Amino acid sequence: MSVSYRWVIVAAGALMTCVALGAMFSLAIFQGPIATATGWSHVGIASAMTLNFIVMGFGGFFWGAASDRFGPRVVVMIGSVLLGLALVLASRAETLLQFQLTYGILVGLAASTFFAPMIAATTAWFDENRGLAVSLVSAGMGVAPVTISPFARWLISAYEWRPAMLMIGIGAWLLLVPAALLVRRPPAETAETGTEFAADGARPQLSKVFRSPQFIVLGLTFFACCAAHSGPIFHMVSYATICGVAPMAAVSIYSVEGLAGLGGRLLYGSLADRIGVKPVLVAGLLVQAAALATYLLVSRLGEFYALAIIFGSAYGGVMPLYAVLAREYFGPRIIGTVFGAATMLSSLGMAFGPLVGGWIFDTFANYSWLFIGSATVGLGAAAIALAFPPLARQKPQPAFGVAP
C-alpha cells in the first residue's frame, strides 16, 4: 500500500472526530429547545453531558484496547453505526430518563470509538511528521464548534429539535460509515519499531506498562492538564458576563478559544516534530498556566479576546502531544490501549473542573479562586511533565510484508 495513503487516514480521522464530537457537544445547542418543548429541567438535560464524559473516559480505554486487537476499522465502523442509532433514538425519547440513557450513554460510548483509536492508528502510520499528523486528526474537534453546532442551530430553527437530531443522526451515518471503510492498518515497515517495552518485536506486558514511570507521568500530566483548563473553559461565558461583557459577546469568547485551539494544534504539532515533544509540551503547559492566572486581570472584551487566543492555542496545542509521547514510549502494538487509558484519566480531569468551578462560585460568589486554583494545577502539570524519562532509542526491527 502506498505510504501516501497515510494522509487519507489523517483526513478520515479528522472527519470522524469533527462529526462525532461535534454531535456530542451540540447538546449545548439543543438544551434550550428541548427544555422548552418537553418541560424537562436544564439540569436533567445537561446531566447527559456529564454521562458523556464518564462513558467516553471508560469507553476510550475499552475501544483503544479493541483497536489494538481487532484493528481500528472494525472499531470505528461500530462507532459510526452506533452514533447514528443513538441520535435517532434520542430524537424519539419520550421521557428524560430515556433521553439521558440514549444521548448520555450511547452517544458517549459511540464518540469514544473515534478519538483514541484514530489517534492511535495515525501515530502508527507516521514516523516523520507524527506530531503534525496527530494534530490534524484532533483538529476535527476544533472545527466542530464552527460546523456541526451552527448546522444544528439552523436545523432546530427550521424543523424543531426532534427532526433536527434525527437528521444529524442520519447525516452521521452518511458521513462516518464511508469514512470508516477508508481506515486501514499501517504497512508493517512503518509500524514495527522497537521500544524499551517492545524490544525484539514482542508484545509489551500491560502490567509492566501501567506501572512504568513513563505511563504514570503521562497519565498524571494528562489528568492535571485537563483538570486545569476544563473549569475555566466551562465557566468562561459566565465569568465574562460577571465582568460586564454582554451575553452574546461573552459567547463569542468561547468561539475564539475554539478557533485558536485549531491553530494551536497545527503550531504545536509542527514544533514538536522539529524540536521534540517534551519541550513543546512543557512550554505549552506553562503558557496555559500563565494565561489562566492572567484572567484575573482582564475585564474588557478586547482583553478577553486576546487572552482567549493565547489560552485556546495552548490547551488545544498540547492535547495531541500526549498521543505522540505514548507512541514513542510504548510503540504501535499497544498504542490504542495505552492512549485509551490515558484518555480515561483525562476525561476524569475534564469532569472534575466544572464541578469544582460551580462549587467555588456558589461558595464565594466569584471565580477568582477557580482561576488561582486552575493556574496552580496547570503549573503542577508542567512540573509533572518535566519528569518524563528520556526516550529509549532502539533500531527498528526487520519488517515482513504488509499488515492487513
Specify the CATH number for the domain of residue 319.
1.20.1250.20
The count of structural domains within the chain is: 2
Clarify whether residues 63 and 158 are in a common domain: yes
Clarify whether residues 221 and 347 are in a common domain: yes
Whole-number Cα distances in Å, 54 to 57, 84, 109, 270, 390: 5, 20, 9, 31, 32
| Residue 403: inside a domain | no
Clarify whether residues 129 and 215 are in a common domain: no
| Residue 323: inside a domain | yes
Clarify whether residues 217 and 304 are in a common domain: yes
Identify the pLDDT of residue 216.
93
Identify the pLDDT of residue 374.
94
| Residue 356: inside a domain | yes
Closest CA to 293 of 306, 266, 311: 311
The DSSP letter of residue 40 is -
Clarify whether residues 119 and 256 are in a common domain: no
Clarify whether residues 171 and 209 are in a common domain: no
How far apart CA 33 and CA 40 sit, in angstroms, is 10
Clarify whether residues 226 and 347 are in a common domain: yes
Domain that includes residue 74, residue range: 3-191
| Residue 326: inside a domain | yes
The DSSP letter of residue 105 is I
Q: What is the pTM for the complete model shown?
A: 0.76
Clarify whether residues 120 and 170 are in a common domain: yes
- 39 by Cβ neighbours in 10 Å (0-12 / 13-18 / 19+) ranks as exposed
Clarify whether residues 179 and 101 are in a common domain: yes
Clarify whether residues 187 and 76 are in a common domain: yes
How far apart CA 326 and CA 342 sit, in angstroms, is 9
Clarify whether residues 225 and 182 are in a common domain: no
| Residue 390: inside a domain | no
Closest CA to 40 of 89, 90, 88: 90
| Residue 25: inside a domain | yes
| Residue 398: inside a domain | no
Residues contacting 279, CB < 8 A, separation 6+ = none
Crossing angle of helices 277-294/301-318, nearest 10°? 150
Clarify whether residues 21 and 147 are in a common domain: yes
| Residue 399: inside a domain | no
Local mean pLDDT, 10-residue blocks, the chain (404 residues): 79 90 81 85 77 84 86 92 95 92 91 86 82 81 75 87 94 94 75 53 72 92 92 82 82 79 86 90 96 93 93 90 87 82 86 77 86 95 92 47 38
Identify the pLDDT of residue 394.
46
